[in-house]
């Protein structure tokens, strides 16, 4: 599986995670999490925590400093680390595995839909 292979490459790079939750506080740290529709469908199989905000400020799956959807998190979450020694590695892995993810979509003849998490969250909320 794609995520397992990615996990091995990340493990080989040995980035440190301080469990600060910074990766999930998008607005505060100036980043936007993008994912594909297929990744959003996998992620949304995990129910939202109660009272989870649906906005671009943070991830609704973050509770304290922990991810409640860790096993279902998208590529963008998997490659993101605050570790300065990991700089450049996540970007390289992201580009490589994003290309492979898109190739899988093409092989399955699934339309490529890649956009910010908040857009998928709003769509999911409005459909339920």
DSSP assignment of 8-64 equals HHHHHH--------GGG-HHHHT---EEEHHHHHHHTTSPPPTT---SSSS-TTEET
Global confidence as pTM: 0.91
Is the pLDDT at 128 greater than 70? The verdict is: no
Number of domains in the chain: 1
Q: What's the pLDDT band for 105 if we cut at 50, 70, 90?
A: very high
What number is the average pLDDT over the span 75-100? 95
> Which residue, among 93, 27, 15, 119, has the nearest Cα to 101 in the 3D structure?
93
Instruction: Give residue 30's domain range.
Output: 2-127
Report the share of the chain in percent with pLDDT over 70.
99
């Amino acid at each position: 599986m794609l995520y397992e292979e990615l996990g091995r490459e990340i493990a080989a790079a040995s980035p440190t995670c301080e469990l600060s939750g910074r990766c999930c506080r998008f607005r505060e740290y100036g980043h936007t999490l993008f994912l594909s529709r297929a990744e959003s469908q996998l992620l949304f199989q995990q129910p939202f925590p109660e009272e989870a905000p649906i906005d671009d400020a943070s991830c609704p799956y973050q509770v304290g400093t922990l991810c409640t959807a860790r096993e279902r998190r998208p590529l963008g979450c998997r490659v993101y680390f605050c570790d300065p020694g990991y700089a450049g590695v996540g970007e390289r892995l992201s580009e490589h595995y994003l290309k492979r993810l898109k190739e899988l979509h093409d092989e399955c003849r699934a339309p490529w839909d890649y956009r910010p998490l908040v857009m998928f969250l709003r769509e999911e909320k409005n459909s339920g």
